[in-house]
Copies of this chain bind each other. A is one copy, B any other.
Amino acid sequence: MESNKNNYVLLIHGGVGTIIKENMTATKEAAYLETLKMALLAGENVLKNAGKATNAVEAAIKVMEDSPLFNAGRGAVFTHEGKNEMDASVMDGNTLDAGAVAGVTQIKNPISVALQVMQHSNHIILIGEGAERFAKQQGCELANPSYFYDEDRFQQLKMAQLHNEVILDHSGESAYQEGNIENEGKKFGTVGAVALDTHRNLAAATSTGGMTNKQFGRVGDTPIIGAGTYAHNKTCAVSCTGHGEYFIKNVVAYDISALMEYKQTTIQEAAEYVIHEKLKQQKGEGGLIALDQKGSYTMAFNTKGMYRGVVSKNHSPKVDIYK
């Protein structure tokens, strides 16, 4: 807990999965840790200059979206049709305003469009081409398909198609999921951030490139307020990552808030119950980061690892990968 005045806190995650040291090279590990740190510093830069929590989570997420390491923005995985369909959402814990986009393919930073939806439209969720028309009208930066092209990601798709699998179901133990393509198959690469700013406001945001080989315009929990993202000053800010369908049907992000509000649990108790009891019983894999107005926070996951980091006024950036 970090309850002193003018404190700020920023937490980030870069996805969960079977992320174990044995499958990681030293170079790759260093690259992940470095990018997480850069994301924290970008968000902290907003917060220490008295900026808003909503802008801090955007800044942190943009760094991860711009990196090919994470499954969001530039590093988005390929759908069955060989496209990159991305989703993102953001919520302001002070006003309860929210914005989200789903199924966008030409946007450089989906999280920035989600923020524009929140700030400059009467709606919360915009999807597909409509969302892209809005983004263009707002002057958001576009990117053509080659920007998202990554040889490793494309090979993932080919392997997944060869095995006729959507890389979403952890139960299959396919060889190609273990190590061959850097263990991507067992990783849910959604990125997210939650922040407390010096004005004592909370915000949460999440961004994803979906699941390799997914079909039919599938949308997971990331753009769903209440499932993948939720923020309310009186309870907490939450960003989730994992097997999206479980997070949708358990309304995970809002459930943390509801437990705190209606059952007076602490933020840690709420996360412990939802991630390690409720989801685990259903075999729903994933994790979340959550932060309250006093600066108490938790980073909970029921997988082998979660890319994650935290920075606050009194503590320099700390980044982690494994349990």
Contact = CB atoms under 8 A, between A and B. Distances in A.
A224 B247 CA distance: 12
Given A224-B224, A249-B91, A251-B251, A216 B102 contact: no
A121 B219 CA distance: 13
A35 to B, nearest CB: 29
Interface in A157-192: 166, 168-169
B251 A217 contact: no
Interface stretch (A5-13, A124-132, A196-204, A301-309): A124-132
A258 B130 CA distance: 33
Nearest to A227: B226
Contacts of A130: 103, 215-218
A258 B262 contact: yes
A286 to B, nearest CB: 14
Given A216-B134, A225-B248, A127 B127 contact: yes
Interface in A201-223: 214-220
A124 B127 CA distance: 16
Interface in A7-35: none
Interface in A73-132: 91, 96-98, 102-103, 121-131
Contacts of A230: 251
14 contacts: A102-B219, A103-B130, A123-B218, A126-B217, A126-B219, A127-B217, A128-B217, A129-B217, A133-B216, A225-B248, A226-B248, A226-B254, A251-B251, A263-B263
